[in-house]
Structure 1
């Protein structure tokens, strides 16, 4: 049903011109609302240096669906680099692949700054959208929707909005009003690990490593990853406890550290570059934010990192933020754009999902830096992949559900726990059955021991493997 003209004059104020804010503006503008973006920084399309987080982004299905809805999927995908698998680098330099999904499934390495520029430019194509840069939110009223911004020249601007959409990041200024209200739950957790970015330059004009992979150097308590860029460089990100970063105080110690743990990366990054770039910026912190609800009456709603900042280890921060946009849009359709009904429904639907992906992101750090070194983990991956191939609707790998579907995140977690129990019990029963069968055969057909040559070292290693706590726990746990 077509809305009356005065309805479409409602002002939607999107606070934050980052990825989620710019995409949200496109969604609202497409519906015919009058949209204004307010960004505290300058226009990054004109900036000489783009300030802010620069961890490379991994675009997957959820994010692509949101981009597709506003006609941007093909344009963004064309500027991304497909990554079909993880490439695991052992300390010895040996490399092994761990596919992300089935054949043809991949995630995309995309440049954060370029994506943000594309989204802002797209938002600006709508005649009913206005972009305001160098506008820092100072305060806003939950009763009237009146916002006060500080401009770069020291002056202030007051803007009235019918709906405020807070997309201004993990340290959201919009969210401060939520903290003043009762029955608003909020928590933030800084993990004890920081990150540092290094650049791996091209080698003779080409990628220094195979480009269609997310390269990982897992070292149990820390790790390094590398994502490819269109300019043939790799952005390498070292994740490590802050206390370990602080132990490395000189260029020589940097090289010693890399020789011990990432020796194959030294010639690719370069000794001089390592010594220089390691000290360019201190290790940066990572925070996980959870809150609920995401709305105040019919006046304001939080999306993206303002509602649910997550650590970057599942590559879902941007994708979850983009999915916020499409979920809100779907609820607008379901409730006929009744904002008073849409906002509480959005909180009801989205809070459990965003809390679930925050927890999964924490879990995936352990998987990336430690589990991928485990033979048991790799064996379980192969078992899971095999079961998925023969029962594609019954057994779906966790990563597949998160990355290649729009299954709600909290439903993903529920199904994952169920599948883990099913597979572990199946393996336990299979192992028990095989052992019983072997004993039975030995009793029925005792071997001639004198003719068997079986090295003692081999027997010892097999016994040790069977007695590891991880193996025993997997066989006996629920």
Structure 2
């Protein structure tokens, strides 16, 4: 008689996706051991690599609901209703993400969220081993070699290996050396650096912007702020204590402006004074921030294969790292964990089949959100102030009001529904083509005959699937 015991899982990586996956597997009866190269952030403090604020949307929230953690996370988050666009002449205006406050995204701290997920996983029975780096993997013997923070190595039995160790995955490197995965990394050519707007109480009163009546914050807290400048931009996301994490995105090399032409804080401050004059006064520690914070790189990872039969699998950024401009990297990774945990629970003795089905279902969606994230960078830095983009956006809102079963903006499909990313990508392209045809180059959506446009929409595109929220 075949054993029904759940196979033991060895997870490499205890970050956001690793901790959430570990919790979900443990709740389903799988023995889970997690090996994380960094120290335990609950004791050593959070020292993660990228610290860009995370935008939590419906897909990620649904995964957290599945894990019983959504309410706890939301108490540590700040609601963002839309993009607050800051133009060169000092004006600003809110572009809502959704139709009302039922469709918002949430700014969350990477470190605080990681620690909450670690606590939840441990409560479910997961065993964590911190300060343990993967050195090598023997996939035939099902063993891995680990090194501690002093470089002392040891070898352990691995069971089923899952890599949730991020874009620079050590398990992916080991898998690729054993059996090529068809890896392709496409650098964006742009990079980023983080700065900070402190809480309002730390700024002179005369410098404060419009905080919407929220005295704790220097500027409106319930928005993702964008200073689009065509080819580059700054963004700012709120933190619960009243500060904002500011991120400057620029070309890495090339003509001014690029990080290559801003080698020090003095050059960067001159650049900000010219291009972001309303933002610079809100960053009193600009010189220290710019001088001490590293320049981060941005790339997209594509793999042809995510697994080696039933022995090893990659998930989250380890399998499909994307650029951050749609705010969907974490949400996509969290969606991965729900799909994988369900597949393994359905057939715990058929791990190879579960891994193959996981890749079949998730890979087209990962590719789709990778493409949309790249497109969203152009939209954020260039299009949000472009009259043609704004006309299409306004016409789309009007059509969505008249025919909600046939039109939903792509951003809303991605951010506020569970429709597959691949569907949202294809449907969004079809809708965009229709909007362009209806406008015929005009920047005035009111020039469009809405009755005729609605008829054309319903004749051209089938109704949207019924699955939306929740």
Match of 1:472 in 2: none
Shift in CA distance, 27/48, structure 1 to aligned 2, threshold 3 Å: closer
CA distance in 2, matches of 1:333, 1:289: 28
Q: Is the 8 A contact 2:48 2:111 kept in 1?
A: no
Q: Is the 8 A contact 1:293 1:351 kept in 2?
A: no
Which residues in structure 2 correspond to 1:369-408 (within 5 Å)?
A: 369-408=381-420
1:262 paired with 2:276, answer yes
Aligned position for 2:245: 235
What is the distance in 2 between the residues matched to 1:155 and 1:299?
A: 26
Structure 1: how far apart are the matches of 2:381 and 2:422? 24
Q: Deviations over 1:247-306 (max 9, x none)?
A: 224544333211211111122112xx1122111133211121111221111111110110
2:440 maps to what in 1?
Answer: 428
Counterpart mapping for 1:60-459 below 5 A: 60-104=57-101, 105-127=103-125, 129-181=126-178, 184-204=181-201, 206-243=216-253, 244-270=258-284, 273-332=285-344, 335=347, 338-428=350-440
CA deviation digits over 1:323-347, x for unaligned, max 9? Answer: 1001112333554663131111111
The TM-score with structure 2 as length reference comes to 0.87
SS at match of 1:352: helix
The answer as to whether partners of 2:160 and 2:311 remain within 8 angstroms in 1 is: yes
Relative to structure 1, the CA distance from residue 267 to residue 175 in structure 2 (aligned partners, 3 Å threshold; closer, same or farther) is: same
Aligned partner of 2:37 in structure 1 is 40
**Number of equivalent positions:** 428
Aligned-pair distance for 1:371? 0.6
Q: Secondary structure of the equivalent of 1:320?
A: helix
- What is the CA-CA distance between 1:49 and the residue it aligns to? 5.4
RMSD: 2.1
Q: Which of 12, 15, 19 is equivalent to 1:15?
A: 12
Partners of 2:348 and 2:266 lie apart in 1 by 64
With over 3 angstroms needed to count, the CA separation of the structure-2 counterparts of 1:429 and 1:387, relative to structure 1, is same
Could you tell me how far apart the structure 1 residues matched to 2:24 and 2:4 are?
19
Q: Secondary structure at the match of 1:312?
A: coil
The alignment partner of 1:313 has SS state of: coil
Aligned equivalents of 2:439 and 2:344: distance in 1? 46
1:246 to partner: Cα distance: 2.4
Alpha-carbon distance change, 182 to 394 in structure 1, aligned in 2, over 3 angstroms: same
How far apart are 1:427 and its partner, in Å? Answer: 2.8
- Between the aligned partners of 2:441 and 2:217, the Cα distance in structure 1 is 47
Higher helix proportion, which one? 1
Q: State the shift of 1:82 in Å.
A: 0.4
Residues 257 and 161 (structure 1), Cα distance of their counterparts in 2 relative to 1, 3 Å cut: same
8 Å CA contact retained: 1:85, 1:97 = yes
**Preserved contact between residue 14 and residue 21 of structure 1 (Cα < 8 Å):** yes
Q: Which has the larger radius of gyration?
A: 1
Q: Would you say the 8 A contact 2:238–2:244 is kept in 1? A: yes
> How big is the shift at 1:152?
2.2
Checking the alignment, whether the CA contact within 8 Å between 2:4 and 2:349 is kept in structure 1 is: no
TM-score by length of 1: 0.85
Instruction: Report the equivalent of 2:462.
Output: none
SS across alignment from 1:235: strand
Query: Aligned partners of 1:345 and 1:423: how far apart in 2?
Result: 36
Runs of 4+ in structure 1 displaced over 3 angstroms?
Answer: 3-6, 249-252, 332-337, 428-431
Secondary structure of 1:82's aligned partner: strand
Deviations 1:67-101 (A, max 9, x none): 11110000001110000010000111100111101
Conserved? CA contact 1:60–1:403, under 8 Å: yes
Residues 183 and 132 (structure 1), Cα distance of their counterparts in 2 relative to 1, 3 Å cut: closer
Aligned to 1:458: none
Cα distance in 1 for partners of 2:294, 2:48 equals 15
Contiguous gaps of at least 5 residues in structure 1? 438-478
SS at the partner of 2:291?
Answer: coil
Matched residues in 2 for 1:188 and 1:7: separation? Answer: 39
| Superposition deviation, residue 121 in structure 1 | 0.7
Mean Cα deviation higher: 171-180 or 305-314: 171-180
Could you tell me how far apart the structure 2 residues matched to 1:429 and 1:49 are? 50
State how far apart, in whole Å, the 2-side matches of 1:83 and 1:397 are: 18
